[in-house]
């Protein structure tokens, strides 16, 4: 699906506030409510709108520490990667996991309650993941920039 200017306007608007009613969205993008709804449903059907979420402030729920973890596996086999990836997806403390190029095989993003909480996670979970040969950890000191909205040129 090729995005036109109206589609991009819808996406920009909903990325800023996904709780808008259809009537509010229609008013902001200067379309009728029925036309706005039809466009949004098309964007959803095409998979361009993948879902709607609520963002939680990690500090207020006791997870103020962002930790980036580089994982190197002991094997590059498909079986080893699959076992690792299956295990990672079952742990809700691992917020994001990326297969990487470069020195490390995977990069994880974890939200922890602090250094002691991360130590628990490392000892009980990360070090027991299948195929792990090396773990390298970096703690985020302060968030400088954090976006959830993708640019739409």
**pLDDT truncated to tens, each residue of the chain (153 aa)?**
899 999 999 999 999 999 999 999 999 999 999 999 999 999 999 999 999 999 999 999 999 999 999 999 999 999 999 999 999 999 999 999 999 999 999 999 999 999 999 999 999 999 999 999 999 999 999 999 999 999 998
Query: What is the arrangement of strands in the sheet containing 132-139, beginning at the earlier edge strand?
Result: 94-99, 106-112, 65-73, 132-139
CA atoms within 13 A on the CB side of 30: 3
84 occurs within a structural domain? yes
Say how far apart CA 26 and CA 4 lie, in whole Å.
Answer: 16
Q: Are 87 and 127 members of one domain? A: yes
Count of structural domains, the chain? 2
Domain boundaries, position 33: 5-45
Say how far apart CA 105 and CA 84 lie, in whole Å.
Answer: 11
**Helix/strand/coil (H/E/C) assignment for every residue in the chain:** CCCCHHHHHHHHHHHHCCCCCHHHHHHHHCCCHHHHHHHHHHHHHCCCCCCCCCCCCHHHHCCCEEEEEEEEECCCCHHHHHHHHHHHHCCCCEEEEEECCCCCCEEEEEEECCHHHHHHHHHHCHHHCCCEEEEEEEECCCCCCCCCCCCCC
149 occurs within a structural domain? no
Q: Are 71 and 128 members of one domain? A: yes
Q: Are 66 and 129 members of one domain? A: yes
Q: Are 80 and 135 members of one domain? A: yes
Say what the pLDDT of residue 10 is: 98
Question: At 100, which CATH number?
Answer: 3.30.70.920
């Amino acid at each position: 699906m090729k995005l036109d200017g109206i589609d991009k306007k819808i996406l920009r608007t909903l990325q800023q506030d996904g709780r808008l009613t259809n009537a509010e969205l229609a008013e902001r993008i200067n379309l009728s409510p029925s036309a706005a709804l039809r466009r949004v449903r098309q964007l959803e059907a095409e998979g361009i709108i993948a879902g709607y979420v609520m963002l939680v402030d990690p500090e207020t729920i006791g997870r103020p520490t962002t930790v980036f973890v580089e994982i190197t596996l002991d094997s590059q086999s498909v079986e080893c990667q699959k076992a690792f990836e299956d295990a990672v997806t079952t742990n809700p403390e691992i917020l994001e996991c990326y297969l990487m190029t470069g020195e490390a095989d995977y990069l994880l993003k974890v939200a922890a309650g602090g250094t002691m909480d991360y130590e628990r996670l490392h000892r009980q979970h990360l070090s027991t993941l299948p195929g792990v040969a090396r773990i390298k950890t970096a703690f985020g000191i302060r968030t400088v920039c954090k976006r959830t909205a993708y640019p739409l040129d």
